[in-house]
Amino acid sequence: MKRFMTNSASHRVFFAGIGAAFAILFGSLLFISPADAPGYERAGVAFPDKNVLVSADIADTAEKRARGLSGRERLAPGEGMWFIFEAEGRHGFWMKDMHFAIDIIWLDERLHIVDMWEDASPESYPSIVAPKGPAKYVLEVPAGFAKMHSLAIGDRAEVSQQSE
């Protein structure tokens, strides 16, 4: 049986170039930030009594909710991720593949805060934290946000769709 083999420099360069292109393409897809990822709509999540507004990527599919902020390097002040679930429940979160601490804020269907996990650290993985009561929405923001804006259980949010 004859095997096709080549040692020509041009073939090695060609295949090395293809391999490098795939490595760059797939490597960049692993670490793309949600704000830069196609398919994310944005929401404005406001706490009017606290005079604060967050511009957030909307995670409204199972895939987007599972990915969350994983792999992202940071959140800028005033940015976040807004998770929308089909129904209220005790939706748990973990810090898998996270690179920075965040505040996780659970809200019920009337947009009242029902629980918070402040300064959720990547080192807490694989622990899963769920709210004390049912929630339909979750807002993830940079660590210290809840304290900085004096958010408390019962505070109400308002949400609006943002144009791109």
pTM summary value: 0.76
Domain assignment of residue 133, yes or no: yes
| Residue 107 belongs to some domain of the structure | yes
Share of the chain above pLDDT 90, in %: 73
CATH number of the structural domain spanning residue 110 = 2.60.120.1140
Above pLDDT 70, what percent of the chain? 76
Residue 127: inside a domain: yes
Range(s) of the domain holding residue 68: 42-162
- 100 three-state secondary structure: coil
Strands across the sheet with 158-162, in order? 113-120, 102-107, 135-142, 79-89, 52-59, 42-47, 158-162
pLDDT tens digits, 4-36: 333 444 333 333 343 333 333 333 333 334 444
User: What is the average pLDDT across 72-98?
Assistant: 96
Domain assignment of residue 145, yes or no:
yes
Q: How many domains does the chain have?
A: 1
pLDDT in tens, 105-120: 999 999 999 999 999 9
Q: Is residue 12 part of a domain?
A: no
